[in-house]
């Protein structure tokens, strides 16, 4: 049995922002509902007013715009999987999307829902972190853009305010090569034990000019491994350079024991996966 709640159904983004301004903080957006309905069942939702944003056309769509990829917050994971633009200019996100949940979940679940829920194991976050993605937040007062790395604060905590909607995620068409890997307890339909995304660019001499490494499910929020990234820049990506970066990346994690894994396994697998994915992107360049 679900608790009783009032359901608001705005028809336009403007109407939705007016409703949020009127009811905040006692109002919660619901998109695909794949997290919210579970939380309702567990009586873990404090708001008595839900606002259905799944019908808002302004939150949908994937497009190229001035050298950037722009994805509406209400875009479903299935739409990400099926998008040629995401396959071409958002490769690690495409790889993560196809492994998120199962087909039923992917048909309902949205990108904004995944990011605003802010699970440490949110699968879209590490790929978007290595793409240097920004999120666009709209309220009745206006719009602001925040780097995803700043937006994610902690377990189920983000910079999204109660009167704001995450309307879009954007990133510049990426240079270099990228890779993503997810470890779960099953090959499909499993919450992540650990995820790693990497992106590396090199100059004509094979020297690393840019490195991005992000990990999920190994800290209170999906994280960038900044020290490991800095250690790679300027190197020739030798086996030794990669091994050093992998060790530094594992050092950036703060994993816990939970029902899915031990902290020790997560620490070990972080180093192994970062090393393996850096080797893969080196071979792809
Ligand atoms: C069986 C199952 C399997 C799953 N597997 C995975 C998995 O493998 N990997 C993974 O990462 N997740 C997984 N999930 C979690 C979930 O499906 C995803 O996090 C999903 O992307 C949430 O999107 P949603 O649209 O359903 O969010 P909702 O449940 O509708 O909302 C989630 C949160 O986001 C907020 N919100 C939604 N849209 C907006 C918006 N536009 N602006 C501001 N706030 C907004 C809501 O208020 C709420 O706080 C799974 C869930 C289930 C039930």
CA distance linking residue 119 with residue 111, whole number of Å? 13
Question: Contact at 8 Å (CB) between 73 and 114?
Answer: no
Please name the residue that has the structure tokens 């019908």.
Answer: 55
Are residues 167 and 196 in contact, defined by beta-carbon separation less than 8 angstroms? no
pLDDT at 187: 82
Residue by residue, DSSP assigns 73-100 as: TT-BHHHHHH-HHHHHH-HHHHHHHTTS
For residue range 183-219, list pLDDT tens digits in order.
Answer: 999 888 889 999 999 999 999 999 999 999 999 999 9
Mean pLDDT of 86-109: 97
Tell me the per-residue pLDDT of 158-192, one tens digit each, with 9 for 90 and over. 999 999 999 999 999 999 999 999 999 988 888 99
What is the reported pLDDT for 188?
82
Most informative mutation of 114, 185, 222 for ligand 1 (most atoms within 8 A of CB): 114
Q: Which residues contact 97 (CB under 8 A, 6 or more apart)?
A: 77, 80, 81, 86, 106, 123, 124
Q: Helices 263-284 and 239-251: crossing angle, nearest 10°?
A: 150
Whether 58 lines ligand 1, by a CB cut-off of 6 Å, is no
- Ligand 1 mean position to 117 CA, how many Å? 6
Give the pair of three-digit tokens for residue 261: 């894994």
Task: Please state, for a pLDDT cut of 70, what percent of the chain lies above it.
Answer: 100
**Closest ligand 1 atom to Cα of 116:** 34
Residue 125 alpha carbon, nearest atom of ligand 1: 11
28: β partners: 50
Residue nearest to atom 48 of ligand 1 (CA): 117
Confidence band (pLDDT; 50, 70, 90) for 127? very high
Q: How far is CA 191 from the centre of its chain?
A: 14
Q: How confident is the model at residue 20 (pLDDT cuts 50, 70, 90)?
A: very high
pLDDT single digits (tens) 28-87: 999 999 999 999 998 888 888 999 999 999 999 999 999 999 999 999 999 999 999 999
Per residue in 138-156, pLDDT (tens digit) is: 999 999 999 999 999 999 9
Rounded-to-integer distance, Cα 199 and Cα 102, Å: 26
Contact between 117 and 154 (Cβ < 8 Å): no
35 lines ligand 1 (CB under 6 A): yes
Most informative mutation of 37, 76, 110 for ligand 1 (most atoms within 8 A of CB)? 110
Cα-to-centroid distance, 108 and ligand 1 (Å): 9
Residue 159 CB burial class (10 angstroms; 0-12, 13-18, ≥19):
middle
Q: Which domains does the chain have, with CATH numbers?
A: 6-52 (3.30.43.10), 57-172 (3.30.465.10), 177-284 (3.30.390.50)
- Residue 122 beta carbon below 6 angstroms from any ligand 1 atom: yes
Percent of the chain clearing pLDDT 90 (strictly above): 93
Please tell me the distance between residue 83's alpha carbon and the centre of ligand 1 in angstroms: 20
Cis, bond preceding 178 (omega within 30 deg of 0): no
> Ligand 1 atom closest to Cα of 38?
53
pLDDT at 74: 98
Note the pLDDT of residue 254: 97
| Cα four-point dihedral sign 94, 98, 103, 108 | negative
Q: Whose CA is nearest to atom 21 of ligand 1?
A: 114
* Letter string b/e over residues 235-261, b meaning 16 or more CB atoms within 10 A of that residue's CB: bebeeebbebbbebbbebbebeeeebb
pLDDT tens digit string along 223-269? 999 999 999 999 999 999 999 999 999 999 999 999 999 999 999 99
Please state the φ and ψ torsions of residue 111, each to the nearest 5 degrees. Answer: -65, -45
Kindly state the DSSP code that residue 59 receives in the 8-state scheme.
G
pLDDT at 180: 98
pLDDT of res. 69 = 98
Query: What is the DSSP secondary structure assignment for residue 213, as one 8-state letter?
Result: E
Best probe residue, ligand 1, of 8, 12, 31, 57 (max atoms within 8 Å of C-beta):
31
């Amino acid at each position: 049995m679900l608790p009783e709640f009032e359901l608001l159904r705005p028809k336009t983004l403007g109407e939705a922002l007016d409703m949020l301004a009127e009811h905040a903080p006692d109002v919660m957006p619901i998109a695909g509902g794949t997290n919210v309905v579970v939380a309702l069942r567990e009586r873990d939702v404090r708001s008595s007013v839900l606002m259905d944003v799944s019908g808002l056309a302004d939150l949908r769509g994937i497009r190229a715009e001035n050298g950037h990829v722009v994805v509406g917050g209400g875009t479903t994971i299935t739409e990400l999987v099926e998008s040629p633009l995401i396959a071409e200019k958002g490769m690690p996100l495409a790889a993560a999307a196809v492994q998120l949940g199962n087909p039923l979940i992917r048909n309902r679940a949205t990108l904004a829902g995944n990011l605003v829920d802010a699970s440490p194991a949110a699968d879209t976050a590490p790929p978007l972190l290595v793409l240097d993605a920004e999120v666009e937040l709209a309220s009745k007062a206006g719009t602001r853009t925040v780097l995803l790395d700043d937006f994610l604060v902690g377990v189920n905590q983000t910079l999204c305010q109660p009167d704001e909607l995450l309307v879009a995620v954007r990133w510049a068409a990426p240079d270099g090569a990228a890779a993503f890997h997810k470890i779960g307890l099953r090959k499909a339909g499993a919450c992540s034990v650990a995820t790693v995304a990497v992106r590396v660019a090199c100059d004509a001499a094979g020297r690393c000019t840019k490195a991005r490494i992000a990990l999920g499910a190994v800290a209170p929020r999906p994280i960038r491994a900044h020290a490991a990234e800095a250690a790679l820049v300027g190197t020739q990506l030798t086996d030794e350079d990669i091994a050093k970066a992998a060790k530094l990346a594992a050092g950036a994690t703060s994993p816990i024991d939970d029902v899915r894994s031990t902290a020790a396994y997560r620490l070990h697998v972080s180093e192994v996966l970062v090393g393996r994915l850096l080797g893969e992107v080196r071979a792809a360049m």
